[in-house]
Amino acid sequence: MSILIDRDTRLVCQGMTGWAGTFHTDRMVHYGTEVVGGVTPGKGGSTHIGLPVFETVREAMRATGANASAVFVPPDSAARAMIEAIEAEMPLVVVVTERIPILDMLRVREALVGSRTLLVGPNSQGVLSPGLCKVGVMATGRASVGHVGVVSRSASLTSKIVSQLTRVGLGQSTTVGIGGDPVHGIGFVDCLERFFADPETEAVAIVGEIGGTEEEQAAAFLARHGMPKPVVALVVGRHAPHSRRMGHAGALAGESEGGAEAKIEALRAAGVRIVPSPHLVGAVMRDALGAHKPQVA
């Protein structure tokens, strides 16, 4: 099994007719994702890369039965696209777009309250269930089918961690890029709950970084509810300077919060196995799974 996406995912791409939307939609189709159309205002009724284009998300859902959307809309229009999908009651919206203004994301967060939509991103590399479905821009070359769930704030490190897991023979059930922006959709806790409930996921790898409180929230959740499955975590940025943004808006550690060491200690105190370097994730996860399995007499 997997979380968030599977073989029954029917995807529409908002902004499909742009360069990024065209390129990545084509790659998702070739991976095996059931892409059923695109949404571009002003181009409804046309066809693009062999797929129908609709004027609105609601129209696309009505015509195709779509239950997920990938957003490739430019930053200045991305919030409007997300809110349109939320108002149309799209079950899952994955937002690849980065550098969306924080004020715009606050409007999106307000629209999510009480809605039926689950938002992943923005600034997300997407969601990948190997062999089943890909939504977004996540690399697939080193991914393999298996039983380790991965949830990550870092796009570049996600590929590294997936590669390390595959190298030691540990495939993935689902990999989720929650995005690194300070205001976003689902986080570590949401994904941990889903991975713990998924019978096919046997362990979870968390990839964190400086800035925000995602890692601390995950630690508090695990301390309260325990870990029915092994959890290992890599948190990068231990040597990053304080009060300087590193790469994107969410990666900024202040003098009193957001630093890597505090995040690491919070997770360690909750019982999480800490990985000191990206190249050791596979080995640490293999050991964690071995220690978790009951010994045969």
Which residue among 87, 120, 153 closes a domain? 120
Whether residues 15 and 73 fall in one domain = yes
Whether residues 88 and 205 fall in one domain = no
- Catalytic center residues: 248
Task: Let me know if residue 53 belongs to a domain.
Answer: yes
d(CA 175, CA 105) in angstroms, rounded, equals 23
Question: Would you say residue 289 has pLDDT above 90?
Answer: yes
Task: Let me know if residue 165 belongs to a domain.
Answer: yes
Whether residues 172 and 261 fall in one domain = yes
State residue 257's pLDDT score.
58
Whether residues 157 and 277 fall in one domain = yes
Question: Would you say residue 297 has pLDDT above 80?
Answer: no
Domain range enclosing 25: 10-120
Mean pLDDT across 12-29: 98
Task: Let me know if residue 134 belongs to a domain.
Answer: no
> Distances in Å between the alpha carbon of 171 and those of 148, 162, 291?
6, 8, 18
Total of domains in the chain: 2
Q: In which order are the strands placed within the sheet that holds 145-152?
A: 133-136, 126-129, 172-177, 145-152, 203-209, 231-236, 273-274
Q: Please tell me whether residue 112 adopts helix, strand or coil conformation.
A: helix
Whether residues 108 and 206 fall in one domain = no
Q: Which two structure tokens, joined as six digits, stand for 163?
A: 């590669």
Whether residues 170 and 261 fall in one domain = yes
d(CA 168, CA 11) in angstroms, rounded, equals 32
pLDDT digits (tens, 9 = 90+) for 129-183: 999 999 999 999 999 999 999 999 998 899 999 999 999 999 999 999 999 899 9
Whether residues 112 and 226 fall in one domain = no
Confidence band, pLDDT 50/70/90 cuts, at residue 68? very high
Model confidence, pTM: 0.93
